[in-house]
Amino acid sequence: MPELPEVETTRRGIADIVTGARIEDVVIRNRSLRWPVPEALPELLRGQRVQKLERRAKYLLFTFEHGTLIVHLGMSGSLRVVTAARPVEKHDHIDLLLEDGRILRYKDPRRFGCMLWQPAAAGPHKLLAELGPEPLSDAFDAGYLSEQLSRRGSAVKLAIMDQHVVVGVGNIYASEALFRSAIHPERAANSLKKREIVALVVAIKATLADAIAAGGTTLRDYVDSTGNPGYFLLQTYAYGRTDEACRQCGTPISEIRQGQRATFFCRQCQK
DNA sequence: AGGAAAACCTGCGTGC
DNA sequence: TGCACGCAGGTTTTCC
């Protein structure tokens, strides 16, 4: 389920329960995610307390005294707090058993996600080392994006989805942010005018912030189980609306393919 | 070195 | 009903 807003929604949904909690045990039913889940995870985490739960890009970082548990939800992953009575379902690959009897349960049908361990002594993980700035941080501004885009001839949609440029902009929000800033997704990144880049930065921040706010309205569901919150509540302007009327001008929304991913836009509003 | 495509998986909807 | 096909919110790896 994840783009950045979904990951942040997950983090907020479980943070209060997980932070400060002691891990009683870890149950691994299937190790084969994106990379193998460390076999030693139960021994590594048993008896240890989660000091804090943070998000970097689309990664969730569980900090322990002796290292960090790095979790990515891939395309189809979810992380929920459930009671011990809840039956294990298909694709429930990993359980973190908490001291209060509840369980932090990782489900991922497609297994594109990962759960890795990075010892504190080893420094930051390689996966996190080369990521671009957080889109909602001050570091992501027009000056920075201008510099990044100027060196790229690829389509602007591909550029803003590149995690070296800025993290957390996935396929849905890339189309949405380009719609909001009235920029055609196939424009060469280095062809954008300064005012367009300013608009794009504002649009990316607003789109993600709105999505997080929308996700927040259903956060409770994570705790009590049931349902996949947030995501589907979002009203999109472009994404998934092929041939439907543009909400601004009525022109049918176009669908094209860029880098083997679907792109949606209004050929009238976006130039 | 930059950019495009393949690769990793399962599930679901569509069309024959 | 069954089956083949294409597509899905990601990102690393491989191949020009």
Spatial distance from the CA of A185 to the C1' of B2 (Å): 20
Q: How far apart are CA A69 and CA A119, in angstroms?
A: 9
Look up A65 and say whether it is catalytic: no
Among A54, A57, A59, A58, which Cα is nearest to A71's? A59
pLDDT for A224:
38
pLDDT for A142:
96
Q: Say yes or no: Cβ of A47 under 7 A from any atom of strand B.
A: no
Spatial distance from the CA of A131 to the C1' of B3 (Å): 19
Are A10 and A4 within 8 A, CB to CB?
no
DSSP-assigned states of every residue in A182-226 = T--TTSBGGG--HHHHHHHHHHHHHHHHHHHHHHHTTTHHHHH--
Burial of residue A11 (CB within 10 Å: 0-12, 13-18, 19+) is middle
Q: Which residues partner with A248 through β-bridges?
A: none
Look up A80 and say whether it is catalytic: no
Footprint of strand C on the protein (CB under 7 A): A 1-3, 6, 34, 57-58, 72, 74-75, 110, 112, 127, 163, 170-172, 228, 230-232, 261-262
Nucleotide nearest to A1 (CA to C1'): C9
pLDDT for A270:
97
- Give mean pLDDT in consecutive 10-residue pieces for chain A, a chain of 271 residues: 86 94 98 97 98 97 98 93 94 97 95 97 92 96 95 95 94 95 96 97 95 66 44 78 95 95 96 96
Q: Which helix (H) or strand (E) holds A15?
A: helix A4-18
Look up A2 and say whether it is catalytic: yes
Are A104 and A96 within 8 A, CB to CB?
yes
Spatial distance from the CA of A40 to the C1' of B15 (Å): 48
Nucleotide nearest to A259 (CA to C1'): B4
pLDDT for A222:
40
Contacts of A33 (CB under 8 A, 6+ apart): A74, A93, A108, A111, A112, A113, A114, A115
Q: Which residues partner with A166 through β-bridges?
A: none
Contacts of A209 (CB under 8 A, 6+ apart): A136
Look up A194 and say whether it is catalytic: no
pLDDT for A2:
82
